[in-house]
Structure 1
Amino acid sequence: MKIDYTKAKLSDIEKMRELVQPEVQSGIILERSEDEIATNIRSYTLAFIADELVGFAALHIHTRYLGEIRSLVVKEGFRGQKIGENLVACAVDEGRTLGLQKVLSLTYKQSFFERLGFVEIPKESLPEHKIWADCIKCKHFPICNEVSLIKNL
């Protein structure tokens, strides 16, 4: 089965929102509006099998030195096939190309990211604007069980 990894286009937004909806409803991933996705469309890498969207992730830039892998999702039934790992690898490679020094992730899947070379850091070390731009929108805020991890590039 051939998996194509490609940068998102504006025409992909509806499919992206449909794919992530179960994870949004369960509180695992923050909901992003169509406009928010459109504004950040260059951040997303998508995974397709034939014409079916089976996963995506975003590399969000926080500072000149720090990026974040966020909105990582793989469609149920396609998990366990290294699609998530490849999406993270695409984001890490893009971060290196841009000149980032580190990428972080805030996740419930600690062991997944640790296998990819991320190490846990205290949540208090996250950029303050991350908390007030994203975390405040979460239904779990301020009681959060996510783990903060970082990878040096």
Structure 2
Amino acid sequence: MIELVKAKLSDIPQMQSLVAKEVKEGTILNRTEDEVATNIRSYVLAKDGEKVVGYTALHIHSRRLAEIRSLIVDEAYRGQHIGKKMVEYTLDEAKMLEVQEDVLVLTYKPVFFEKLGFKEINKEVIPEHKIWADCIKCIHFPVCNEVALVYKLSKWENDA
């Protein structure tokens, strides 16, 4: 049974191993073990027993903006809605933390996020500090075909 849990420092080696292929391909940004450790509280893991089979992170940029980062699911576990459950978990976490406006995602798989209520936006509206802090580290920078999408948190209030 797959369980969603907050990451611990002892999970970092499995996390790094799981994402290695996507980092090499340039579909996920490389984050050093120290970067992951510094942000360990941001990560939620999908675990099958003690095995990390997926993870993502909710990174807070400001009171108004958060970002879902590094969404990955082990190839052998895809098709089981694990990614969807992790995204829903991070959206609930953003609401609990009272992020005021948007949750951003940059992705090569926009359809996945659109099915979860995200809407595509022009990358030029993304705060500059986001672009320079992360995108400059990408092997595809400055020519990138990632798609930017946002989830409007005010939607929850309308759905209640």
CA offset digits 1:12-69 (Å, max 9, x no partner): 1111000000110111000000110011000000000122110000000011111000
CA distance in 1, matches of 2:77, 2:148: 25
Letter in 2 for 1:42: R
Superposition map of 1:2-151 within 5 A: 2-100=1-99, 101-151=101-151
Aligned to 2:156: none
Offset at residue 102 of structure 1 (A): 1.2
Secondary structure of 1:77 counterpart: helix
CA distance in 2, matches of 1:130, 1:68: 10
CA distance in 1, matches of 2:80, 2:125: 32
Offset at residue 82 of structure 1 (A): 0.3
CA offset digits 1:88-111 (Å, max 9, x no partner): 011000000000121010000000
Q: How many positions carry a matched residue from both structures?
A: 152
Letter in 2 for 1:119: K
Aligned alpha-carbon RMSD (Å)? 0.6
Letter in 2 for 1:152: K
CA distance in 2, matches of 1:11, 1:64: 30
Letter in 2 for 1:98: L
CA offset digits 1:58-88 (Å, max 9, x no partner): 0000111110000000001111110000010
Letter in 1 for 2:41: R
Contiguous gaps of at least 5 residues in structure 1? none
Q: TM-score, normalised by structure 1?
A: 0.98
Offset at residue 9 of structure 1 (A): 0.4
